[in-house]
Amino acid sequence: MESSAGLRERKKEATRQAVHEATLRLTVEHGFDHVTVEAVADAAGISRRTFSNYFTGKEDALLHGEEQQIRDLVRTVRERPAEETAWAALRAAMTQFAERVAPPEREWALRTRLAMQHPSLLARQLANHAALEGDLAEAVASRQSPSEKSVRPLVLAAAFLSSLRIAMRMWIEEDLAREPVEVIDEILDEMACRFD
């Protein structure tokens, strides 16, 4: 029999996902500036107060999918073989993640375009990345030898997440001409010579 805590967590995640999808849909229909938290709450079938229990604002709700993807990527890095170097583990985790998740390109493109156009959304995205950098740095730190400097995992995590952000921006500027993973690989190849 399933525990009530596990069921409760799944229900919470389902609510978060419903709010995220409502925010995304309303943003496509009306534009980010014209979407209100009240409208998102109505579209998701929840109260304004319930919205506030899950997200601090529409920026957080819109970026929820991206945050979940990065958390999944961090888990994938932790699961990589211990003998891989940190950068190799990050690269392999990205490849493995992309094959497993295959996120909808439309959502990636929309979030990236919106972040490029709306300072409040870009600020929230960068804050999310900064918060997740610590988790990624911790996953990377377990791969370094005790003689290596402790700043290296932070640099690797920041460089990796910045590379992903740059790749998404290039992908948008190229008008989605290539697969996003192809652009990510190109950027990560540029960084590889510094971290391999």
pLDDT band at residue 148 under the 50/70/90 scheme? low
Q: What is the pLDDT of residue 113?
A: 83
Whether residue 1 is predicted with pLDDT greater than 50 in this model: the reply is: no
Say whether 177 sits in a helix, a strand or coil.
Answer: coil
* More reliable by pLDDT, 171 or 148: 171
Among residues of the chain, what percentage have pLDDT more than 70?
91
> Which of the given ranges, 37-51, 137-151, 179-193, has the highest pLDDT on average?
37-51
pLDDT score recorded for residue 5: 72
3-state helix, strand, coil in the chain (%, to 5): 80, 0, 20
Distance CA 194, CA 12 (A): 41
Tell the residue number behind the tokens 């950027």, with chain if given.
187
HSE toward the beta carbon, residue 77, CA cutoff 13 A: 30
pLDDT at 180 over 50: yes
In the 8-state DSSP scheme, what is residue 146?
A: T
How far is C-alpha 127 from the geometric centre of its chain's CA atoms?
11
Structure tokens at 89: 């583990």
What average pLDDT does this structure show over 151-160? Answer: 89
Say if residue 149's pLDDT is above 70. Answer: no
Q: What pLDDT digit, counting tens, does each position of 92-126 carry?
A: 998 887 777 665 567 777 877 888 888 888 888 88
pLDDT value for 2: 55
Task: Convert the pLDDT of each residue in 2-23 to its tens digit.
Answer: 577 788 999 999 999 999 999 9
Per-residue pLDDT tens digits for 23-77: 989 998 998 999 999 999 999 999 999 999 999 999 999 988 888 888 888 999 9
**131's tokens:** 């918060």
